[in-house]
Structure 1
Amino acid sequence: MTMAPHDTSRNRTTLAALDIDGTLAPSGTMQVALVVRLAVARLLDAGHHVVLASGRSLVGVLPIARELGLTAGWVVASNGAITARLDSRVPRGYELEDVQNFDPSQAVRLAWATLPGLQIGAERVGWGYDVTHLFPPGRLNGAQQVVSHHYLEERSTTRLVLRGPGADRLVGPVRAAGLTAVLIEPGWVDVTAPGLSKATALEKVRANLGVDPAWTVAIGDGENDLEMLRWAAHGVAMGHAPAVVREAADAVTGTLDEHGAAAALDALHAGVMP
């Protein structure tokens, strides 16, 4: 990653927004490399804010926060549908700050009519998912309860997952129905409330923390990170990210295997910006 000198003035507080899967850890795992954990610790010790911003559900984000030693501050889950404030003094370790539910009935009916038998999951915040079929281990965070697609139509949710061959074809129709649809990988589409993204949630966090917009950094690797990378004053794409993600960023760091997130965070800590 090419880094340009930047006067951080040392008294400036930066907000570093970090994706998880493919950025801090291999997708679907809780394994954050030591070099990444140390880089995050150095940034926290210097007084900066580190905010996890993930497509994962909240129950998938919290173990990573613990792994990184984040016991205070903020996390964004479900692609911006959930914002929680970490607080080690409360029994759960967090308080829900913002939960954006939506009516999934139109998306569920559309998906089932187009691809009968498609695997559908609807998030239950802090618990897991109601699903039409069990997802493979590690693909969804938390518990799973098998229900009918009619059941899913009748209950609001923060995040709907559409998984299976051909699910990619649903992105356009779901968006046309007024909802947010993001292709996470071939055969996997995330659906959330209209106008939501990691960026919309992070902007609220930034304003709450009083961080200058010019002192925001984001690191990510997926298409659900595009808005976040554009929102940040300094967007950094992982080296293995698709071309569309790398082109949206201000700089490109190393791959996950090369611990690119650690390199970017250490550069920020050293007083330079992408």
Structure 2
Amino acid sequence: MRPPGWQPRLIALDVDGTTIHQHSPPSDRVVAAVRAAAERAVVMICTGRTVIGVGAVLDELGLASGTTVCSNGAVVLDTATRSVKAVRTFDPAKAFAALRETFPGAHLGSEHVGVGQRVTEPFPDGILAGVVTVVPEEELVALPTPKIIAYWPGRTPAETAQRAVELNVPDAELTVDHELAWVTLVPAGVSKASALADVAAELGIAREDVLAAGDGDNDRAMLRWAGHGVAMGQAPAEVKADADEVTATVVDDGLALVLERWF
């Protein structure tokens, strides 16, 4: 229960499934709501996208200052200059070995910060941002990275999530996608929540004054950490269970409905 007159001071927004739907730009209503909120609070993006993939959304929303959290918290971007402020990497060797064993036939990739992705096999068209380079797996294994991705062709998101329970990579954090047969790994201890907490601390904003909105597995920790977590209407049940509030779907401008309440 928020105290009377409460208003969020820091607002953390997921991108895909929250701010935008599929490959469409944010709706006019969402853009207006985000810009109105940004006049009276700090608004930032917390996304699984890379620094290459987030730029267009920042432009569309009119966010031109502060911090942007990318790659599920592993890469932090200066929103104004689009320069990388911090990167957390890990040795991918154990992760790749575990992914190969758990998801036979998966297409694997690792983020090349500021450039794109290095991958073992081509991914579906339009799914990866930046320059995508097919390289031998031994090259991927040798290069530290902030984020590893695995796409399991011909499988459903439910099959992938079920199999992911068997994956054991102690030095990494695992999240799954509810729309694609997709798994993401970032360094242990890294999440949207950890990066958001760092930003809040830098700004001197208490977690009780943070609002976070999202719809995916990679948003769950962030929704639990924030003083007010908002799950989108199309989010899986487990994501909704971690939130303080469930709004309408992204198609129905659920994010705007929430922000318009205060701004």
Contact 2:95-2:169 within 8 A present in 1 as well:
no
Contact 1:120-1:131 within 8 A present in 2 as well:
yes
Counterpart pick for 2:15 among 16, 20, 27? 20
Contact 2:8-2:211 within 8 A present in 1 as well:
no
| Compared CA separation, residues 140 and 20, structure 1 to 2 (3 A) | same
What letter matches 1:215 in structure 2? Answer: D
Counterpart pick for 2:250 among 252, 256, 273? 256
Q: What is the alpha-carbon distance in structure 1 between the residues aligned to residue 126 and residue 204 of structure 2?
A: 36
Q: What is the alpha-carbon distance in structure 1 between the residues aligned to residue 181 and residue 169 of structure 2?
A: 19
Deviations 1:43-71 (A, max 9, x none): 1122x101100111111112111111111
For 1:34-53, what aligned pairs fall within 5 Å after superposition?
34-46=28-40, 48-53=41-46
Contact 2:94-2:169 within 8 A present in 1 as well:
no
Structure 1 counterpart of 2:137: 149
For 1:158-177, what aligned pairs fall within 5 Å after superposition?
158-164=146-152, 165=155, 167-168=160-161, 171-177=164-170
Q: What is the alpha-carbon distance in structure 1 between the residues aligned to residue 187 and residue 85 of structure 2?
A: 17
Structure 2 counterpart of 1:111: 99
Counterpart check, 1:59 vs 2:52: yes
Contact 2:44-2:68 within 8 A present in 1 as well:
yes
Contact 2:176-2:183 within 8 A present in 1 as well:
yes
Q: What is the alpha-carbon distance in structure 2 between the residues aligned to residue 169 and residue 123 of structure 1?
A: 25
Structure 1 counterpart of 2:186: 192
Question: 1:174 offset after TM fit, Å?
Answer: 4.0
Aligned length: 257
Counterpart pick for 1:228 among 222, 226, 235? 222
Q: What is the alpha-carbon distance in structure 2 between the residues aligned to residue 5 and residue 267 of structure 1?
A: 15
Q: What is the alpha-carbon distance in structure 2 between the residues aligned to residue 44 and residue 187 of structure 1?
A: 35
What letter matches 2:42 in structure 1? Answer: H
Q: What is the alpha-carbon distance in structure 2 between the residues aligned to residue 40 and residue 6 of structure 1?
A: 22
Farther-moved stretch of structure 1 (157-166 vs 202-211): 157-166
Task: State the identity %.
Answer: 36
What letter matches 1:20 in structure 2? Answer: V
Q: What is the alpha-carbon distance in structure 2 between the residues aligned to residue 73 and residue 106 of structure 1?
A: 35
Farther-moved stretch of structure 1 (231-240 vs 130-139): 130-139
Secondary structure of 1:219's aligned partner: strand
Contact 1:109-1:153 within 8 A present in 2 as well:
no
Structure 2 counterpart of 1:122: 110
Q: What is the alpha-carbon distance in structure 1 between the residues aligned to residue 102 and residue 225 of structure 2?
A: 34
Structure 2 counterpart of 1:241: 235
Question: Which consecutive residues of structure 1, in runs of 5 or more, have no partner in the other structure?
Answer: 88-92, 270-274
Q: TM-score, normalised by structure 2?
A: 0.91
Contact 2:100-2:106 within 8 A present in 1 as well:
yes
Q: TM-score, normalised by structure 1?
A: 0.88
Higher relative contact order (CA 8 A, sep 6+): 1
Question: Which consecutive residues of structure 2, in runs of 5 or more, have no partner in the other structure?
Answer: none
Question: 1:117 offset after TM fit, Å?
Answer: 3.4
Q: What is the alpha-carbon distance in structure 1 between the residues aligned to residue 163 and residue 110 of structure 2?
A: 16
Q: What is the alpha-carbon distance in structure 1 between the residues aligned to residue 238 and residue 8 of structure 2?
A: 29
